[in-house]
Amino acid sequence: MSRDKIIWVKINTKSYYNILVKLNDIGITIYDNKFKKDYILIETKYEDYKRIKKYLVSYKISIYESTGIDKFKEIFNKYIVFSCGIIISIVILFIANMTVFKIDIKTSNKKIYDIVERELNKNGLKRLTLKKEHFKIEKIVSKILDENKDTLEWLEIKYDGLVMIVNVTEKTQTKKEEEYPNCNIIARTDAKISSLNIYRGIPLKEINDYVTKGEVILSGSITHNEEIKNNVCADGEVYGEVWYKVKIELPFKETITKYTGKNRYNLNIKIDDDKYTILKSRLKQKKEEEINLYKLNDFEINLIKEKEYVKEENILSKDEAYNKAIKLATEKINLKLRENEKILVKKVLKKELNDSTIYLEVFIVTKENIGVRQVVKEEALNDNKHISESNE
Amino acid sequence: MERLHFRDFFKNFLYDLEDFITIYENHLHVFNYQKLTKLSETNIILIVKNMEVNITGENLKIKQMTKQELLINGKILKVEFAYV
């Protein structure tokens, strides 16, 4: 310990004035002092501490080390400029992080952009204002949607760093039926009709009929005695059985990725498109998951979770390869299916095995909505009218 | 005088005084005292050059103290000087 160092010395005493007179008598320098119930703390030089120990032998004297909140106060006071700097920086960073610097309304329609911007301003969502809580945002969104029922279909407000992103979908005015005076329901693909729900129009096909792609199933032309009396827009649901032949070739040998359970954390800084990783990664093969910690325009700080994995080779048995190939074929067809559509039948047509691969041809029957609307052009209508008139 | 009143130190340097006593609100600064004879909550007696300085007050405390200087804190009611 340096001899010039200033320290706090604790002297056990109940008399404040007596001890100070004694310290004065032996010429001790006191820079500060605090008197407690059973002791006095004096701030003095280390050299003087030695002298106090030497002359005041009847007292219990020790160097006082502050702990807890006192220690914190001491450090804070010692580095007051630095501490204040840190606190001010944190406060500024906190306020900046809570502030919206940019509003990004995602629409290309100028009219919608203006409406949304006006509504946001009206509800206090402006640039350089504090971010609002989630429940308040939800309230504002439903209020804006209520007030603009005719123009806005959907609205979402979310924060990405300092940017408020507003996703908006304008209300698409469904074309009125009058715009399509005549339309048919035709087959989207070759199929066998399994169910027919007619809302409007004349059915030209029945259940269990086979149809080819483009064939009219429901007609919008209402005829009587081969004469077109009226044109409507045919509407209905037509479900049919559709057939697929799926070819799958699968090797017995497959490479699988196995996670070892070893994770490492890292940090990276992104400035524009440049990325700088702070720590050197020690994992050879890894998958990275990025969690954004801070974002200011094009500057980002991200926490990276690195998950180690190893690649292992796996040899499938014939049965395993067969089941997997069937599963892949099913998945391939399932990707095409929409709501209320399903696979009805699966049948293996061809199976070939060699040393390294399995080859399958799978026949799949599905139930699908095969009807699509086809608008009949006006020229065609006029031609039809003309034909009917000439027949008369 | 590392931490004791720079202002007084410079004042003393400029005036070139051997000793002085400065009274502030609730503080009394003594420069170049010779001896502290009495110290209590209400009364402090000092010897400065050839004079005895009798300080009367309430809740008197020594804030800072060196061989030459004293900084007294408390409610100062009266300061008396007497030749010794």
- Span A310-335, pLDDT tens digits: 998 888 888 899 999 999 999 999 99
For residue B77, being part of any structural domain is answered with: yes
DSSP state of A376: P
Give the dihedral sign, CA B17/B21/B24/B29: positive
A32·B40 Cβ contact <8 A: no
Residue type, B20: F
* Helix pair angle (A68-78, A80-97), 10° resolution: 100
- pLDDT confidence of residue B4: 55
Structural domain total, chain B: 1
* Shortest distance, CA A7 to any CA of chain B (angstroms): 14
Instruction: Give the largest Cα separation in chain B, rounded.
Output: 34
Residues of A in contact with B65 (CB under 8 A): 20, 23-24, 28-30
pLDDT of res. A40? 93
Q: What is the ipTM of this complex?
A: 0.81
Amino acid at B82: A
> Is residue B1 in a domain?
no
In a domain, B39, yes or no: yes
Q: Which residue of A lies nearest to B37 if distances are taken between CA atoms?
A: A21
What is the distance between the alpha carbons of residues A247 and B6, in angstroms, rounded to a whole number? Answer: 95
- Structural domains in chain A? 6-65 (3.30.70.260), 102-170 (3.10.20), 180-238+371-378 (no CATH), 246-252+315-366 (no CATH), 256-311 (no CATH)
> What's the number of CA atoms in the CB half-sphere (13 Å) around residue A384?
17
Residue ranges in chain A assigned as alpha helix (H): 16-25, 46-55, 68-78, 80-97, 110-122, 134-147, 318-334, 378-391
**Beta-sheet pairing, A202-203 with A216-219:** antiparallel
Which member of A16, A17, A24 has the closest CB to residue B65?
Answer: A24
Model confidence at B70, pLDDT cuts 50, 70, 90, reads very high
Chain A contacts to B (CB-CB under 8 A): 16-17, 20-21, 23-25, 27-33, 35
> Is B62 part of the contact surface with chain A (CB cutoff 8 Å)?
yes
Domain that holds residue B46: 6-83
Rounded to a whole number of angstroms, the distance from the CA of B83 to the nearest CA of chain A is 22
Examine residue B58 and state whether it is found in any structural domain, yes or no: yes
Q: What is the model's pLDDT at position B15?
A: 63
What phi, psi does A278 have (nearest 5°)?
-75, -50
Instruction: Provide the pairing of β-strand A102-106 with A163-170.
Output: parallel
- The CATH number assigned to the domain holding B22 equals 2.60.40.2000
**Tokens representing A226?**
């081969």
Residues of A in contact with B64 (CB under 8 A): 30-32
Model's pTM, two decimal places? 0.41
Q: What is the arithmetic mean of pLDDT over B72-83?
A: 93
Find, among A159, A109, A111, the residue nearest to A131 by Cα: A159
CB atoms within 10 A of CB A313: 8
B65 — pLDDT class (breaks 50, 70, 90): very high
Sheet holding A32-35, edge to edge: A32-35, A39-45, A6-12, A61-63
CB distance A28–B39 less than 8 Å?
no
Q: At what angle do helices A110-122 and A134-147 cross, to 10 degrees?
A: 130
Q: Given an 8 Å threshold on Cβ–Cβ distance, is B62 in contact with A31?
A: no
Q: How many helices (H) and strands (E) does chain A have?
A: 8, 22
Residue B60 covered by a domain: yes
In chain B, count H helices and then E strands: 1, 6
Q: What are phi and psi of A250, to 5 degrees?
A: -130, 125
Instruction: Give the span between the Cα atoms of A163 and A101, in whole angstroms.
Output: 6
pLDDT at residue A392, rounded to an integer: 37
**Identity of the residue in A16, A17, A29 whose CB atom sits nearest the CB atom of B65:** A29
What's the alpha-carbon Rg for chain B, to the nearest Å?
A: 12
Q: Is the dihedral of CA A156, A161, A164, A168 positive or negative?
A: negative
What Rg value do the Cα atoms of chain A yield, rounded? 41
Q: Please indicate if any CB of chain A lies within 8 Å of the CB of B68.
A: no
The pLDDT of residue A174 is 55
* Residue B35 belongs to some domain of the structure: yes
pLDDT at B13: 66
Asked whether the beta carbons of residue B67 and residue A29 sit closer than 8 angstroms, the reply is yes
Residue B1's pLDDT band, with cuts at 50, 70 and 90, is: very low
Closest partner CB to B67 (pick from A20, A27, A32)? A27
Residue A295 CB neighbour total at 10 angstroms: 16
- Predicted pLDDT at A383: 53
The predicted-structure confidence for A176-189, as pLDDT tens digits, reads as follows 545 567 888 999 99
Is B36's CB within 8 Å of A21's CB?
yes
At residue A117's C-alpha, the angle toward residues A115 and A119, to 5°, is 70
Spatial separation of the C-alpha atoms in residues B62 and B71, rounded to whole Å? 6
Q: How far apart are CA A361 and CA A349, in angstroms?
A: 5
Q: How far is CA A56 from CA A49, A53, A117, in A?
A: 10, 6, 79
Residue pair A112/A150 in contact by the 8 Å Cβ criterion: no
Where chain A has pLDDT below 70, the residues are 1-4, 66-67, 173-180, 378-392
d(CA A275, CA A107): 30
Nearest chain B CA: its distance from A284 CA (Å): 60
* CA A266 from centroid of its chain's CA atoms: 21
Buried b (16+ CB within 10 A) or exposed e, B48-74: beebbbbbebeebbbbbbbeebbbbbb
